[in-house]
Structure 1
Amino acid sequence: MTYPDRGGADEPVLSWRSPEGVAHIRFNRPGSLNAIDVAMAKGFRSACQQISEDPQARVVVVSGEGRAFMAGGDLGAMRDDPQATAQALIEGMHGGIRILARLAAPVIASLHGAVAGGGLGLALACDLGIAAEGTRFNLAYPKIGASSDCATSWALPRLVGLRQALEIALLCEPVDANEALRLGLVNRVVPAASLQAETEAMAQRLARGPREAQGRLKRLLRESLERTLEDQLDAEAASFVACAGTPDFTEGVTAFLEKRAPRFA
């Protein structure tokens, strides 16, 4: 493990890895609904970097302490020098998001309470999202006279389509968990009391999967909207052939023929 086990109680971002290979990034400013300040943004990027250097991290779970996942940026922290503070916040958060997007490990957003502003962008930038009943989503930026950050403008139209994305962005109406599921903003909605258990079950299932194949599939899907069909076919062919040379492929084929569950490395 290349990062401390869970970290100190007063750290703005906690990071740790379970023995099963599930790495956790947990925002830890519950008194501020995990609103992003400069320390949290830097802590997030640092946690992402540490996880990227950990060969045992097979899945990443991003979550929030207290009553909310993340209520967006800390507006109080921006009052004195808004441009410089905004730049520092964005550099940290965007740096972390770039790292998570490049990881072979699937990234799960475990969501509850408020998911607003940069919190919404981060949630959508993750590969999968699971939300507790009662979760509320809101883009929120126009309410403070700002455009978006944290990849929100990249992810939102890809998930819901341009016209729906514009409505969500410009009207800033809150979206509840069930509507978020219908729109494709999250993959699953579960009872609030079951969020942690359901997130862990999803993470453990992914952690048992073939790491290289999952990473390649994640990359293919993320890059598909930027390629032509011909280019995507070439990328798929190269990726599949590369997977066919791995021990996990051999194990997967053998397990299929022997009618048993595979045991990937």
Structure 2
Amino acid sequence: MSVGIEIDDGLARITLRRGAAGNAIGLDMARGLLHAARVCATESVRAVLLTGEGTSFCVGGDLGEFSRLSGEPLERHLIAVTGALHDALRTFAAGDAPMVAAVQGAVAGAGIGLAASADVTLAADNASFTTAYTRIGYTPDAGVSWFLPRLVGPKRALDLLLTNRRVAAAEAETIGLASRVVPADRLAAEALRTAEALRDGPTAAFGATRRLVATGQTADLGPHLDREACAIAAAAASAEGREGVAAFLGKRAPDFPPAAPST
């Protein structure tokens, strides 16, 4: 399997398992990510941790696989690859469980899309990011043209997409492409610690917060304030909200109820 998934006590650990190939995304890996996303949507998953084996997180599409085709068969193949990959991104985004991505080494092409789609992206200090698409005459996929302008601004996004310059981990943190940078030898431990902390948090509140942030990017202020009011009222009346307030007033750690399956 090019994508592994393990679920333990509400934490789903998804691993890209083509380390020798830089975790390049072909049809099998795209379908593996979609399968993993669907498992997360149907199990009681409270947080997701996405990692890649080997020295690089993900170098983008599997150009070796793509180069074996041409013309209409290549177009059909790319539609199948991006269809599965994009359905995976939609499925992850639709759920309540927050995602942590731990990235190291090369993060290119669709790898940037995977990293950017996470709620928390931890970058090893040896990570470097490059969009790479236009260098080979391709255009973005994996949500890169959607995520980048929202994370770094449209002007900087076009700089990255058109020049394909490499962005070191420190700059990625500065411009908002990475949440924070950690030493490479601490990446795995810090990512797991972060994912476990989210796993133990209020999953439904996390989901509502994720949706508020996503819709707030394009919403007018007035309607968005109405959505915020409805969301906080529902959260306060929920079992999570009652437990959170009781724990705060009782000066103890909260014990939030487990997440219900999304479907």
Q: TM-score range by the shorter chain?
A: over 0.9
Contact 1:133 1:192 in 2 (8 A): yes
The answer for the alignment partner of 2:103 in structure 1 is 111
Identity %: 39
2:64 pairs, out of 71, 76, 92, with 76
Q: What SS does the corresponding residue of 2:58 show, helix, strand or coil?
A: coil
The answer for the alignment partner of 1:46 in structure 2 is 35
Please say if 1:122 is aligned against 2:111: no
The answer for the alignment partner of 1:161 in structure 2 is 153
CA distance, structure 1, for counterparts of residue 184 and residue 8 of structure 2: 23
User: How many residue pairs end up in the alignment?
Assistant: 253
The answer for the alignment partner of 2:186 in structure 1 is 194
Please say if 1:147 is aligned against 2:139: yes
Contact 1:77 1:85 in 2 (8 A): no
How far residue 256 of structure 1 moved from its aligned partner, in angstroms, is 1.6
The answer for the alignment partner of 1:16 in structure 2 is 6
Query: What per-residue deviation string (whole Å, max 9, x for no partner) do you get for residues 175-232 of structure 1?
Result: 0101100111011111111111000110111111111111111111111112111110
Q: Cα RMSD over matched residues?
A: 1.0
TM-score normalised by L of structure 1: 0.93
RCO higher in structure (CA 8 A, sep ≥6): 2
Which amino acid is the alignment partner of residue 212 of structure 1?
A: A
CA distance, structure 2, for counterparts of residue 209 and residue 47 of structure 1: 22
Could you tell me which runs of 5 or more consecutive residues in structure 2 were left unpaired when the two chains were aligned: 258-263
The answer for the alignment partner of 1:256 in structure 2 is 248
2:236 pairs, out of 233, 238, 244, with 244
Which amino acid is the alignment partner of residue 130 of structure 1?
A: L
The answer for the alignment partner of 2:51 in structure 1 is 63
CA distance, structure 1, for counterparts of residue 2 and residue 244 of structure 2: 41
The answer for the alignment partner of 2:261 in structure 1 is none
TM-score normalised by L of structure 2: 0.94
Which amino acid is the alignment partner of residue 51 of structure 1?
A: C
Deviating runs (4+, > 4 A) in structure 1?
none
CA distance, structure 2, for counterparts of residue 124 and residue 49 of structure 1: 20
